[in-house]
Amino acid sequence: MRRFLLSLVMLAALLAPQPALAGQPPVGVVTNFGPNLAAVCHMPEGIAIDPTGNLYAASFAFSPTANICVENRGGQIVDVIPVPAGKAGVASLLGELFEPSQGIYVVDFADGAPTNGRLLRIDVATHAVTVVATGYSAPNGIAQDRHRNLYVSDSFLGAIFKVAPDGSSNTVWIQDPRLMPQPGGSPPFGANGLAFDANQGFLYVASTSDSKIYRIPVQKDGSAGPMQLFASGAAIDASQQTTEALHGADGIMFDVRGNLYVCANSAQHPAPGLPGEIQVLSPDGRLIARYDGVGQNDLDFVASLVFHERALYVTNLSLDTGGANSKLSVLGVPYPGLPLRP
């Protein structure tokens, strides 16, 4: 009971300052968005949004062609972009980022074998696919700094790569054993979702297998400073008397108030139900809210998220249910998302 009351108090504090907005989904209520995508974009993982509000959901397909489904603001599929495999023979798309002047950047996990992973750029009008960089083992998340450099996490190497916009350089920005898959951790991925804070003083990274969030200082010369622990799911559970905090931390993104939204892909709270929640950390790393759907609107292994004003869209990878719940979900949130590019 104490845990339940604490959650209500924290949620009320988070929600109180903002009135409801017309045309925005209800705050804290998770609903399905658009059709089931199993037949065309099986197991959607990455998600991006363009300035018109079109959503791009990338399929973790493990097939010769992986699709990106484009849904408009009404939830209708308005385009399907096919992405052919590289040398691995299969394409499996993960993190995405939309840049208006370039199109979609998306990573291809391929078959998870060393050097087969790719960073791609896709022209959304022509569907042309350009290979920007290669050589990854398990490319997963993408972020972009104010200089347009791209940062790509590699979940198996425990590394974050820094890539020039045109791919002319592709170097390890930081590599740390703490970002490797940890023994006994599940899912067995290390470095995953990436997000810069408001002034780009830190790059935050989710570590999936041990349910932690780290932050890395960005030095004046652009290099990485010493990595710092920002939040630990186990420590949150112990101090806040909760369960499964940050369990399976995956995609992450900030709102304009500095709260960090985390796809906890394996969390079940209070259980039973399908695995997956959106959990919110305050700027000082406390767990202040957690969201899940009910019944057919239940989240199912949430992987990535993107804001549009005060709507938060998420992908349901549906990993443990074989893709049966391949879908997007939406919920209203108290504050808009932090712009991806300052």
> 150-166, pLDDT tens digit by residue?
999 999 999 999 999 99
Angle, alpha carbons 277-34-292 (nearest 5°):
15
Q: Are the C-beta atoms of residues 327 and 274 closer than 8 Å to each other?
A: no
Would you state the pLDDT for residue 186?
Answer: 81
Beta carbons within 8 Å of 329's beta carbon, 6+ residues apart: 30, 31, 32, 33, 293, 297, 299, 302, 313, 314, 316
Alpha carbon dihedral 91, 93, 99, 102, in 10-degree steps, equals: 0
**pLDDT averaged over 10-residue windows placed end to end, the chain, 342 residues:** 37 47 82 98 98 97 97 97 98 97 96 97 98 98 97 98 95 98 90 98 98 98 98 97 96 98 93 91 98 96 97 97 97 94 64
> 293-328, pLDDT tens digit by residue?
999 999 999 999 999 999 999 999 999 999 999 999
**Superfamily in which the 2-13+34-332 domain is placed by CATH:** TolB, C-terminal domain (2.120.10.30)
Would you state the pLDDT for residue 271?
Answer: 73
The domain locations on the chain are 2-13+34-332
Separation between Cα atoms, residue 145 and residue 196, nearest integer Å: 8
> 268-285, pLDDT tens digit by residue?
887 778 999 999 999 999
What is the identity of the amino acid at 182?
A: Q
Beta carbons within 8 Å of 103's beta carbon, 6+ residues apart: 121, 122, 123, 124
Separation between Cα atoms, residue 311 and residue 22, nearest integer Å: 12
Separation between Cα atoms, residue 137 and residue 156, nearest integer Å: 6
Q: Are the C-beta atoms of residues 30 and 297 closer than 8 Å to each other?
A: yes
Would you state the pLDDT for residue 342?
Answer: 60
